[in-house]
Structure 1
Amino acid sequence: MISYANSLGIAKRPQDTRVVVAMSGGVDSSVTAAVLREEGYDVVGITLQLYDHGIALQKPGACCAGQDIYDARQVADRIGIPHYVLDYEGKFSQDVIDDFADTYLRGETPIPCVRCNQRVKFRDLLNTARDLGADALATGHYVRRVQGAAGAELHRAIDPGRDQSYFLFATTREQLEFLRFPLGGLTKPETRALAERHGLEVAAKPDSQDICFVPNGSYADVVAKLRPGSVEPGDIVHVDGRVLGRHRGVVHYTVGQRKGLGIGGIRGEEEPLFVVRLEPGQRRVVVGPRRELARRVVTIREVNWLGPALAPGEGLEVEVKLRSAQPSAPAVWRLGADGTAQAELHEPQYGVAPGQACVVYQGDRVLGGGWIAGTGA
């Protein structure tokens, strides 16, 4: 009997391997579908309708909007694959948009793209792909899936400027076995060149910007609309207790913020002021000099662990990424016994915000991560 090992690491011939591709209408997912189709796979394109088209169409470049659904359908027709649009609006509203609003109201800074991957694309869509008899679900994310000795591993993309591994830390081991990321070894210019070679009209389409369901870029306006009456003014307070001014609502601020505090120059303050913490229960924004932001200990909740087995409290030397745009920092990682963990940083980090993700790396490999619940000096 002949044993096949195709480019996706599946023991079948490409023509016998069904792959569902999550098509957002952008260049990355379009090239993913085109490349797999060219290799002979049985490709099925699926686009998710995640929110109201009337809102979406007001924001060019937002994923999963009306124009993007049209673009995905055009690409599918061009490369000759079936294409389906699934209405996930209810799931997206409950699992992503509501969570976004509630996280802001707790004084935290959310990352809805992670929740979308975690609760919609890599859970609900993955189950739909299985229902369609697929052998794999492929996406256009810039991240690598590497087959290790103990199973599939998640690694950074080859192009550090495009790496999206920070946003995929919540991918479970079971999901990773089913997922494929064909673009993880490419740069963005190489992807666009492939789009042009395949004659895809989206070859020069701009990348999605900001959060897809925020039409005008104002997060606070979205929270105020979703939770009427919840965005209330309050005091801006110095860490020493002085009241320096008033704010329009805690949701307008995030830990580490310097600009846009609305208090102007404060007499006697030689150092610039930053948001040190948010106290939504008291409707207070607490500010202070940069040194007040220094944190050495980070507490993490909802941990997804993809790394080696660790006993509770056992230390592991790692690097942690505390914001998507910041470089990794050396730390000692310790798992708790209840889905929590703690990262002890070798050097203090500044602007560590609850609600953001703490993602754990060893070299290029993603070991997991979780949501920042609190910090300590």
Structure 2
Amino acid sequence: MRIPDHIIEQIRSQANIVDVVGEYVQLKKAGRNYLGLCPFHKEKTPSFNVNAERGMYKCFGCGKGGNAITFVQEHLHMTFPDAVKHLATKMGIPIPEEEVEDPTGMTARRDAARAALREAADFYRKTLSASDGAPVRTFYERRGFSADIQERFGLGAAPAAWDHLLTHLEANGFTRQHLEDAGLIIVKDDGKVYDRFRGRAMFTIRDDSGRVVGFSARTLSNDPDTPKYINSPQSMVFDKSRVLYGLDLAKRSIIEHKTVHVVEGQADVIAMHQGGFLSTVASSGTALTPDHVKLLKKYADTMVLVFDADSAGQKAMSRGIEIGLAGGMEVRCVVLPSGEDPDSMIKKNGVTAMSDLLAQAMPWMTYQTERFKKEGALSDP
């Protein structure tokens, strides 16, 4: 779908460059311009100029310059269409997208799947507030998730029924093909159709642009035979090897500090953000992949691995080190107390204790050396 030229021009001409840049750069009035430290290179003396009248910015240190759209593209690492849509949303400008040729119909199917996922996320949010959501509300309260953090991460509840979401989405004009493309329903060989997620706590998975691409559903049951998590399947809009949970919310902090904290699970991400560690992300239903690191490299230079203290977590740490280094990242490691994960660590020992551990993150070589020593791998034969 193509964004009409007149909308692009409207956004370019009406965007307040001071407000757009000021979200990420501390600006001070200097005559007719505004001055700040350049977000594109390290400097101690401000050389980044913003001209409100012309709607332009220019750094006289590194040479970067442009308008509001260019700034969003460069600073948030977005494509041109995504930058335009980002500003349009903030400015309240609707985008009537023009039709383009779609001979295979795949573009239309992908758009419909994304729309179905957005509607499903809204449905799960509303269910959380209804009577059907009471068990999940209790679960979130026990986990210590505040109402604000639930809203920020789009947490929801799937009703314990076979077809409530299916019925809701069909009533809103979606076909079963749309829902199957989105991974929201299961179609059996005998033709029976039912909701994929039922009676579970719903964690909304969004891509780095904030678009809903899938869900991770946590059981409320203690039955050992019940899978703890059920995740959205691979689909035309969801590739778990390319999506990092929480990146849409963490991106600004990651860019600011050039550092990302990588944890293992959704609950860990939420606990870290609630504790003020806003540069935290997690892989979604898979181990860290080269594509994950490639995505993070757009925003950060340093990757801090904060994995569980059990043996599986430590093996994942070693694998993460290899992938991070191969992707050109500086890698550091945090060793949690035995038996802890970031979520439990914060709950038991508090935010200050976690902050101290992050400050003490060791270089990957030191971590590996200490680990091999403990395992006896460096002992003389």
More helix by share: 2
Same fold (TM over 0.5): no
TM-score range, shorter chain: under 0.3
The higher-RCO structure (CA 8 Å, 6+ apart) is: 1
Greater strand content = 1
Q: TM-score, length-normalised on structure 1?
A: 0.25
